[in-house]
Amino acid sequence: MSSPDTPRHIPPLLPAVVTVIALLALGAAGFRYLAPAPPGAEVGLDRVRAAALAGDLQRATLLDQDAVVVVVDAAGAVLHAAYPASDVATAQLVADLATGDVAVRVDPQVDKAVVGVLVTVVLPLILLAALFAIVLVATRDGAGAGGVAGFGRLRGRQAGGHDRPDVRFSDVAGIDEAVVELREVVDHLRDPSRLATLGGRPPKGVLLAGPPGVGKTLVARAVAGEAGVAFFHVAGAEFVESLVGVGAARVRDLFAQVREAAPAIVFIDEVDAAGRRRGAGGAVGGTDEREQTLNQLLVEMDGFSVDDGIVVLAATNRPDILDPALLRPGRFDRQVEIGRPDLAARQAILTLHAGTRPLHPDVDLAALAGRTPGFTGADLAAVVNEASLLAARTGATQVTQSHLVEGVDRVRSGPRASQVLTDAERHRVAVHEAGHAVVVAALGRAAEVTRVQAVPRGRTLGSVTLGGDAVLRAAEDLRDDLVALLAGRTAERDRLGSASTLGEDDLARATGLARDLVGAHALVEGLPPRRLLAPRTAGHLGEATDDAVLGADARERLDTAVDAELVAAEARASSLLQVNGAVLEKLVGELDRLESVDGHRLHALLAGIIPPARATAGQR
């Protein structure tokens, strides 16, 4: 508690707000004062004129501002009547009063005239000025870089002094390679002389590249936490404005703050928003706002050295669209790729996030990691959190394996949907999902099938959970994937007589995979070893994609080859389902009865699969 002698801080907005409130109160009082309040009973103007012409009035007073006439009749009664505020009406009224020898007096009401000018002219101007002052103060002190007064300033999310990040490398799991690369930055910021004695120079800038959710921001904060330095966290989009020069000014302001707080780390999240390749998207010329921002960023990164205690970390999901000048040595000297975690990394991440939860002894995090191929660190954290919420919802005191498995399903497909399926619809979903599972098992990947569900979740009506972390895919593997994708609708068509809309997503994925197989990877015999399809990112760079300039003959050959792959995959799926029809019927029956099959029950059902010999590249 402050002492009585300590001056109290007055918020800068308080005087302006008090002024506005006072002006509004004055305005209300002024309008109330201006309202007419004449004495006597109110009568009509025609009665006043009739009395005047009949000689029944003694005197009359015209209230000029109120447009009211107050009269005293022969009996001494005081009456008043409103009259139109016009020169013609006033002249006619005065003439009628004069005809009846009524003593007429005009009250100009000077005080009301003055108050009227103040309320209708002066007070609104003062009120507008006060409101404008509020806007200026708010944008200067509250809105930061986006405000009027601070349009060229970028305040960022600085964690300096006692508010420095408390994240450490021990709080990060599954990205050991990235930690090793970044430890040099930490060692330099802690003890610059250590590397200098060996003649080594740490990287001035490090680009963290990888898909969303893999932990790029977390590891950047961990670097600052390990080094114990100030941490400036800004987004690339904060530099970009429609006004030319604003982004460059914000870049200058950011690095001015960083130099004052050095040693420090600057973390630019989604750097591609400001560092996209110049000339991309059709915007060219030195006056383009994005290009000026990028040029200023390049200048600032050239304007300091690692000896100044400043290191720039940046993160992006799209390193391929960054300007080459930004990636050259001396700016971003090192690029660290953070990919989706593999099986061991997923288990480590799950162990880290589950370490503070009360786990049941039956929890098997290794098995859970096998159920989550393709999950990022953020996804795995969400799985553990969902499991904890489910345990709390059911009143359990520990998180069980069933809670964690349900958490995986909720993160992958969403919570159970409220759709009410008929028995026929539920059976069709069971046939579709069982078709996927049986064909995957028949392709020699039975161990990857961990769960089959005919349960609506999110926008899906059923699902098959697969394991496996393949990195390199041969042509045969891609064709197997095509067969597995088309197996669901093929099972519907063969067992129920027709396919349905359940296979819409499967068709889209299968078509994209077949186009990549033919046009991107050139893995089809009979076509030249040429990439017909450009990377999907090229269109974002203002470049013409290869398929956009293909001739009619080449495009026709591409489409013909894609169609052939899809037809062959569907035929192969139908053959595998026919051979394993008994297993398919058993699995469909279990799904009709239980809605979800996994674990030993699923493996026992799939044990009867008859796997054919792997098709060769020519068997299409």
Q: How many CA atoms lie within 13 A of 65 on its CB side?
A: 17
The answer to whether 434 and 491 have CB atoms below 8 angstroms apart is yes
The answer to whether 501 and 284 have CB atoms below 8 angstroms apart is no
Going by C-alpha positions, the residue among 9, 238, 248, 258 that lies closest to residue 144 is 238
Euclidean distance between CA atoms 174 and 352, whole angstroms = 10
Pairing of strands 449-453, 463-466: antiparallel
**570 labelled catalytic:** no
Largest distance between two CA atoms of the chain: 126
- Of 289, 433, 492, 565, which residue is the catalytic one? 433
Euclidean distance between CA atoms 372 and 448, whole angstroms = 11
DSSP annotation string for 519-564? IIS--STTS-S---S--TTGGGGT---GGGG--HHHHHHHHHHHHH
What tokens were used for 493?
């068509």
What tokens were used for 13?
């907005």
DSSP annotation string for 74-131? TT--EEEEE--SSHHHHHHHHHHHHHTT-EEEEE--HHHHHHHHIIIIIHHHHHHHHH
DSSP annotation string for 329-375? TTTS-EEEE-----HHHHHHHHHHHHTTS-B-TT--HHHHHHT-TT-
What tokens were used for 207?
């680009």
Euclidean distance between CA atoms 62 and 69, whole angstroms = 5
Amino acid identity of residue 151, one-letter, is F
Amino acid identity of residue 492, one-letter, is E
Active-site positions read 433
